[in-house]
Structure 1
Amino acid sequence: MQKTTFFILSIILLLGCTEDRNIENNDVVIDPTSVLIHYWNFNTITGTQTLVNPDVTLLPLSGASISYPGSGAGYMDTFTPGYDSNLQNTEDAGSGLRARNPSDTRNLVMAVPTTGYKTIVVQFATAATSSGAQTQNYSYTVDGTNYSNEGLNTTTFNSTIDPIASLVSLDFTSITGVNNNPNFKIKISFTGSNASGTSGNNRFDNVTVKGIPVSTTPLYLLHYWNFNNLATGTLTNVNADISLLSTSTATIKYTGTGAGYMDQYTPGSALNLQNSDVAGLGLRFRNPSDTRNVIITAPTTGYKNVVMKFATARSSASGASIQNYSYSLDGVNFLTTGLATTTFNPNIDPSYDVITLDFSAIIGANNNPNFVVKINFGGTEASGISGNNRIDNVTFQANHI
């Protein structure tokens, strides 16, 4: 009897001394074909926050964000260390996001568009401080305005106390209105006697949104540039690293006049990497860039429903602040007709975004040996003598005809 009691006490003491322990509470099975649509790891932000964009997203212009609207003195800021639970892409537990009290007059709102995806599961690591709100309540909207918890597997959760974090899984797989929805949002409200307090907070880390692409037709990696084998010095022509057609016909050039040129940079970006590649090198387009164009020749012979993606950023405030996108069906004349994304304001390295140019509704892009994409640069910075724009991990995916 004494040995048994000693053993039990030893286990209690051992568990009580464990710091930063993450306890997972995940009974939701995620379809293995799901992909990571949005991901917040919060590792690159510090201080007070009003709107937090995802660290990784497949829908960069969709408005995905986390905010804390309402009234009162509550606000969002960061905490450290973050949690290990639900980490993606072999990342470290850096920092996390906390919603400070008073929290009963505010809601944490996750805008998580699912355009092009279905069978959605949202997960995040969470905990509270000892004086933080005891209960989190979950609801969602499919129209961006009206919230409900109908059909939701988990509608409320009593937070564990930091550093013990739990994994909350919100399963929307049976709620069809969430699928392929640009207006999908999740709301977290806070209750319990502590929620009205002037101290304490609830903490969140490693927020993921996963789903299955709506299209069931297999996508092939038609062309891919990872730039990891680029030569040093000025480059005039960069062939694709991988192509289902010919790496010599899939090319990137920086045509025009003036002193601008393209060369390699390091380190590259990990966004949109394929085939378990590493973030090695990337390609940069140096100013002055307003007199040049990036010409990406990408034949689609034998393929249809073409989607192009790439990671991009600018070097600093002196890099061109505007990228403009267009395409050509004859290799000569360029247009933007039918293209949902025609311009983008790149962030400053190392804050990369993944740009998606969807040509699937443009019939002329199918089965076209003359298909070309053009990027040109704007903003007052584009005429400067320093600064550059950077791209990495350029992919063209398509269905076989």
Structure 2
Amino acid sequence: MKKNYFILAFLMIAVVFSSCVKDEPAPQPEPPPPPPPGEPVLVHYWHFNNLPDIAFTEPIESDFSQFGLTASMDYPGTGEGYWDIRTHRPADPVSNFNLRMGQGPDQGAVLRLRNPANTREFLITAPSTGYENLVVTFAATRTENGAKEQEFYFSANGGSDWTKVGEAYYIPSLPEGEGYLEKVIDLTEYAQLNDNANTMFRILFVGEGSDNTSGNNRIDNFSIDGVPLASGDPAKLAISSVNDGNPVFANEPFSLLIYSLDADNSPAAVTTNVTVNLSLESGTGNLGGTLSGVIASGENSVMITGITYDAAGTGIKIKAEAQGLTAAISDAFDVALITYNLQLSANMPDAGTLTGDGEYAEGEEVTIAATANEGFI
């Protein structure tokens, strides 16, 4: 009698995380020390390197904004135009101009604003509260069929009125070897943009090619710099972000960014070294790892890395304390278990059934069984 053997084969074991991005996010660098009075600092920045590879339907938040500020981009309008990203490749590169916040060359992605673009506008909502003498910097290019010119505008009243800055400027063609335009727009003469919660910018796509049904313009490394207004004495702490907005997993290190603020909630440099201690404010697990850090004299922030939490849960809060400053409590965040998605497959699909596939937490024991059909052993 011929014997058939049921052979169990594992064809795929994949790790599935709670969210997927096209690249691992770059580690957040230590915040730079405050500059000398009157020197500009980075206020908002978009590098576009951690965005999903989809057509966007919602505004894009900045990759970095100063404490207490939020900024976003949008591409509203009518028609078939839309926006997405284009990842780097040697024949179709990103720009290496205006790399900030530790971003490396020849990697990541650019923002792609697709035609027809003459019925849309590229909007940047970027409050300048606490800053003056703004400068906008970015790289721009296009495909052969993309709009050949752009116009830059600002609004000091949330978009009710717009002021055009200079004349329309030519956008080079990347496929034709013209590279990227390295655009710097000095807005220091426009006092109405200083310390203004309603500051906005707008780019219009004009001229030949803007009404084409194919083609696109591309924007990369968009930054807004400004000079900080004078702050008061440090009065309290504030926790700016937990793990730079990335998921936190049980028993895996994560980070907190902590600022010293004055009474008006503006970042304020300390005059002596200030030790910040962390403790668990709410949660059923245990906080461990690195639980203290130092805001150095002359600086206004510290990034504490290597913090751990040993259990999955929701509503976790961490408290930051320092002598002489009002304590801060983080926003509630969740801690997840690392899970693995186990998929089973047999080299003879008709030979029987397999059981044991599914999603499992890290460290969990898994029982896998194979049941042979009649005629197989």
Shorter chain as denominator, the TM-score bin is: 0.5 to 0.7
Contact persistence 1:261–1:287 (CA under 8 A): no
Contact persistence 2:84–2:113 (CA under 8 A): yes
Pair 1:48 & 2:63 matched? no
In structure 2, the partner of 1:139 is 153
Q: C-alpha distance in 1, partners of 2:282/2:63? A: 34
Which structure shows the bigger proportion of residues in helix conformation?
Answer: 1
In structure 2, the partner of 1:262 is 287
Q: C-alpha distance in 2, partners of 1:106/1:224? A: 38
In structure 2, the partner of 1:208 is 223
Q: C-alpha distance in 1, partners of 2:283/2:39? A: 46
Q: C-alpha distance in 1, partners of 2:303/2:314? A: 28
- Matched residue SS, 2:163: coil
In structure 2, the partner of 1:322 is none
Q: Which runs of 5+ in 1 are unaligned?
A: 1-30, 226-232, 266-273, 301-367, 388-401
* Percent identity over paired residues: 26
Amino acid at match of 2:61: N
Shift of 1:174: 0.9
TM-score (ref. length: structure 2) = 0.59
Shift of 1:166: 1.1
TM-score (ref. length: structure 1) = 0.56
Shift of 1:144: 1.1
Pair 1:86 & 2:93 matched? no
CA separation of 1:107 and 1:263: change in aligned 2, threshold 3 A: same
Amino acid at match of 2:95: Y
Pair 1:99 & 2:107 matched? no
Pair 1:187 & 2:195 matched? no
Q: C-alpha distance in 1, partners of 2:271/2:278? A: 13
Query: Residues 121-167 of structure 1, C-alpha deviation per residue, up to 9 Å, x if partnerless?
Result: 011000111111111011111111233336x3x34211011160011
Amino acid at match of 1:372: A
Q: Which structure 2 residues correspond to residues 155-194 of structure 1 after superposition, within 5 A? A: 155-162=167-174, 164-194=179-209
CA separation of 1:295 and 1:178: change in aligned 2, threshold 3 A: same
Q: C-alpha distance in 1, partners of 2:288/2:115? A: 50
Q: Of 54, 67, 77, which residue of structure 1 is paired with 2:74? A: 67
Contact persistence 1:234–1:261 (CA under 8 A): no
Q: Which structure 2 residues correspond to residues 351-366 of structure 1 after superposition, within 5 A? A: none
Contact persistence 1:119–1:173 (CA under 8 A): yes
Q: C-alpha distance in 2, partners of 1:279/1:296? A: 11
In structure 2, the partner of 1:123 is 137
Query: Residues 85-133 of structure 1, C-alpha deviation per residue, up to 9 Å, x if partnerless?
Result: 1111331242100111101100111111111111100110001111111
CA separation of 1:283 and 1:145: change in aligned 2, threshold 3 A: same
- Matched residue SS, 1:85: coil
CA separation of 1:375 and 1:89: change in aligned 2, threshold 3 A: closer
Contact persistence 1:115–1:180 (CA under 8 A): yes
Q: C-alpha distance in 2, partners of 1:57/1:281? A: 23
Q: C-alpha distance in 2, partners of 1:283/1:36? A: 30
In structure 2, the partner of 1:351 is none
Shift of 1:168: 1.1
CA separation of 1:171 and 1:97: change in aligned 2, threshold 3 A: same
Larger Rg: 2
Q: Which structure 2 residues correspond to residues 174-253 of structure 1 after superposition, within 5 A? A: 174-215=189-230, 244=272, 247=275, 250-253=276-279
CA separation of 1:289 and 1:72: change in aligned 2, threshold 3 A: closer
Q: C-alpha distance in 1, partners of 2:211/2:252? A: 61
Q: C-alpha distance in 2, partners of 1:168/1:295? A: 43
Q: C-alpha distance in 1, partners of 2:221/2:329? A: 35
In structure 2, the partner of 1:377 is 332
Q: C-alpha distance in 2, partners of 1:255/1:223? A: 14
Q: C-alpha distance in 2, partners of 1:223/1:75? A: 38
Query: Residues 351-373 of structure 1, C-alpha deviation per residue, up to 9 Å, x if partnerless?
Result: xxxxxxxxxxxxxxxxx6xx322
Shift of 1:243: 9.5
CA separation of 1:289 and 1:172: change in aligned 2, threshold 3 A: same
CA separation of 1:35 and 1:97: change in aligned 2, threshold 3 A: same
- Matched residue SS, 1:177: helix
- Matched residue SS, 2:209: helix
Pair 1:296 & 2:320 matched? yes
Contact persistence 2:252–2:309 (CA under 8 A): no
Q: C-alpha distance in 2, partners of 1:98/1:78? A: 5
Paired positions, count: 260
RMSD: 3.9
Q: Which runs of 5+ in 2 are unaligned?
A: 1-36, 89-93, 241-250, 259-269, 291-298, 339-377
Query: Residues 313-364 of structure 1, C-alpha deviation per residue, up to 9 Å, x if partnerless?
Result: xxxxxxxxxxxxxxxxxxxxxxxxxxxxxxxxxxxxxxxxxxxxxxxxxxxx
